Amino acid sequence: MTNKDSTILRQSLHGQWSSRIVFILAVSGSAVGLGNIWRFPYMAGINGGGAYVLIYLLCIFAIGLPIMISEIMLGRRGRRNPMTSMELLGLEETGIKSWKYAGVIGLLAGFLILSYYSVIAGWTLNYFMLTAQGLFDGIGPSGVDEVFNALTLSIKTQVVFHTIFMALTILIIAKGIKAGLERAVTIMMPALFIIMVVLIIYAITQGNFLEGLSFMFRPDFSKLDGSSLLSAMGQAFFTLSLGMGCVFTYGAYLPKKESIFNSTIAIILCDTLIALLAGMIIFPIVFSYGLEPAEGPGLIFKTLPLAFGQISGGTIFGSLFFILLGFAALTSAISLLEPSVAWMIEQKNVSRKVSAITIGLGIWALGLLTVLSFNELSDFTFWKGTVFDNFEHLASNILLPTSGLLFTVFASWFMSKKSSSEELNGEHSWQYRFWRFLARYIAPIAVLIIFLNVIGIF
């Protein structure tokens, strides 16, 4: 299986997407998550709004686009889990097997990220129930602090919701590509979009919409500095699910005839649109109660419930908001689990069910450390802080840029022009040349800058 011809014939061992639309929905489902609805608005909030949004958009198109195309391309050509694909392609294109470690880093990152992502996603399920019960109705600032502290201090509550969330994720993955992944995204993605539209209308009519808009789109460059530039790049990475083998693995199930370039554009536009819409929902609601958006991570779990507690219809629309967050997180979580499950099926020759349950249980157990980071182990700090802080730092700031960089460099510098252009519109097309320029020069240099900054070199 290591000669050139086999590349063309190689088929995915796990099946294929039924259509391009499903593929776009699945990758968009992966991309749209807590990163868009929770992280993006608060990052924009603490970095001064409009100017940050502008830089973020630049990063999405100059760095995110070429890396996403590279990952899908490698996935489709390798047709295996990220580790095995990189090993096969490394051998075929360069005669060197060690490229597989790029895939290994991606697999590890996905494992690690899902362990804490699931705990935070569990919080959103808990908040959905609390909001629906009307707990936030008329609540004051100290009230929302109390609710949030009660949740993070309770091991039991967090474990219960983390368990529910992981169980749902495992269930979907165990059912396979068509009955699991496809069905989940074709139901949840349209639902997510409809809920967003409803909430936008609510924000326009009930919130301070103009102030929200002006906060997001009026650039105030005085607030920008080197670190906000770097955090915008990091956010672009995280929000597009890059460097983790998710997009790579989904690419392995993409039929040969579908255009990678057009699909990527659709996915990126969808992810960006949802991040901007999330801001247009959250900021007007926050401003309507005269609150400050620069609250950091507490924006969704403290400021927003406080605002929902004051305005009319807050209980219903607040609950809808947290369902939205739960859906967004679930379609991302399945993409985090799939790569290691595909790896285990291929390497250990076990069924999808066994693989999903085994890996899922491992991730669930690791997640307990995140739960404990907010209570029992909150004083146990080293390097970047609690165990949770370290997981997040290691995954988002070190593992992701490293494997994202390796994927892109491999695809644009080491893979032959013949192979890459076969996957991407042919050697003479503008799409191919555009991708190759961004992937060879712009993206690697930018990622290197983030990386060197993170490890403190400059």
Q: Which residues bind ligand PHE (CB under 6 A)?
A: 30-31, 33-36, 113, 238-239, 241, 244, 246, 332, 335-336
* Residue number, 73 or 112, with CB nearest to ligand PHE: 112
CB of 397 to ligand PHE, least distance (A): 13
Q: Using CA atoms, how far apart are residues 266 and 26, in angstroms rounded to an integer?
A: 12
Q: Nearest approach, Cβ of 106 to ligand PHE (angstroms)?
A: 10
Task: Considering the complex, state which of residue 22 and residue 34 has its C-beta at the smaller distance from ligand PHE.
Answer: 34
Closest to ligand PHE by CB, 144 or 185: 185
The least CB distance from residue 245 to ligand PHE, in Å, is 9
DSSP string for residues in 28-72: HHHHSSHIIIIIHHHHHHHTTTHHHHHHHHHHIIIIIHHHHHHHH
Whether the CB-CB separation of 48 and 224 falls below 8 Å is answered with: yes
- For residue 227, the minimal CB distance to ligand PHE (Å) is 21
> Are the C-beta atoms of residues 71 and 242 closer than 8 Å to each other?
yes
Quote the CA–CA distance of 282 and 111 in Å, as a whole number: 30
d(CA 255, CA 249): 13
Name residues whose C-beta falls within 8 Å of residue 226's C-beta, 6 or more positions apart in sequence.
453
Burial class (CB in 10 A: 0-12, 13-18, 19+), 453: middle
CB of 422 to ligand PHE, least distance (A): 27
- Closest separation in Å from C-beta 32 to ligand PHE: 6
CB of 454 to ligand PHE, least distance (A): 17
Beta carbons of 27 and 267 less than 8 angstroms apart: yes
For ligand PHE, the closer of residues 147 and 325 by Cβ is 325
Distance of closest approach, residue 394 Cβ to ligand PHE, in angstroms = 14
In the complex, minimum distance from the CB of residue 425 to ligand PHE, in angstroms, rounded to a whole number: 26
**Residue 385 DSSP symbol:** B
Structure tokens at 312: 């009319």
The per-residue b/e assignment along 372-406, b for 16 or more CB within 10 angstroms, e otherwise, is bbbeeeeeeeeeeebbbbbbbebbbbebbbbbbbb
Q: Which CB, 41 or 314, lies closer to ligand PHE?
A: 41
Residue with tokens 């095995």: 84
Residue 351 CB burial class (10 angstroms; 0-12, 13-18, ≥19): exposed
**Which of 68, 336 has the CB closer to ligand PHE?**
336
CB 308 within 8 A of CB 327: no
* Cβ at position 339, least distance to ligand PHE in Å: 9
- Residues linked to residue 385 through DSSP beta bridges, in sequence order: 382
What does the block give as tokens for 298? 């507490």
Closer residue to ligand PHE in complex, CB, 33/293: 33
Residue of 30, 120, 173 whose CA lies nearest to 367: 120
Q: Which is nearer to ligand PHE, 113 or 254 (CB)?
A: 113
Q: Residue 31 or 216: which CB sits closer to ligand PHE?
A: 31
Closer Cβ to ligand PHE, 51 or 120, answer by number: 120
